[in-house]
Amino acid sequence: MALFSSGSALSFAAPVASTATRHAKHGLSMQTKEALANELNPAIGYFDPLGLADADFWSQGNDATWGFLRQAEIKHGRVAMMAFCGYIVQANGVHFPEFFGPLTTGATPEEQWFNLSLEARGQIIAFIGFLEFWGEFGGKHYMRGGRPGEYPKFENIPAQWWLDLYDPFGIAAKNSPEKKAKGLLAEINNGRLAQIGIMGFMAEAKVPGSVPFLTGLVPPFEGDVMVPFA
């Protein structure tokens, strides 16, 4: 996950002026992936053993490839943060009302999903599909000059939903560039940690004892965690 470190931090805001000045003294630009990687994790720095940051996916050019990788990390980090929190909430018996069908049952969050009705799963998947569609076609694409991680506003659609999923109440827009830059670094690092965390929950549930710290805290799950839509 560290190999996508640099570009993600450029998602929404300009870098902090003092940081840019500090890197300029060393002949580096905050636009470089190496400099941003050091900002995200100075202990590890830039780490891309597979050379993906310099690749050319689908013959679209390196800029498009870099945009794709940046978007991938930001999106998966956000999903993992929601999944991590959702897993904990469900594991403690807190369930949503019957918006998507009968109340979920089961000892583990995995079992709760499998026990949902087909109609309930369909509603959830359809909503996620719409969000994916609008994210790909609702604004300037991240592989063609758009800013990775910036979700397009809901404009010119029949629902006329004026809320912005990223900053619905305009709070972040009022932050200083320094605070925005710091928040972006925190989001990416938290997203990376959440990806490790949710996979730890899943691993311990499937193979008890595989994550010693979670042994006895995560109930075992005998189903196949890799086919959640089955």
Going from the N-terminus, what domains does the chain have, and what CATH number goes with each?
2-214 (1.10.3460)
Tell me the average pLDDT across 20-49: 67
pLDDT digit string (tens) for 112-167?
777 777 888 888 889 899 889 988 988 889 999 888 888 887 776 665 555 677 77
Q: How many residues does the chain have?
A: 230
pLDDT digit string (tens) for 183-229?
888 999 999 999 999 999 999 999 999 999 999 888 888 888 777 65
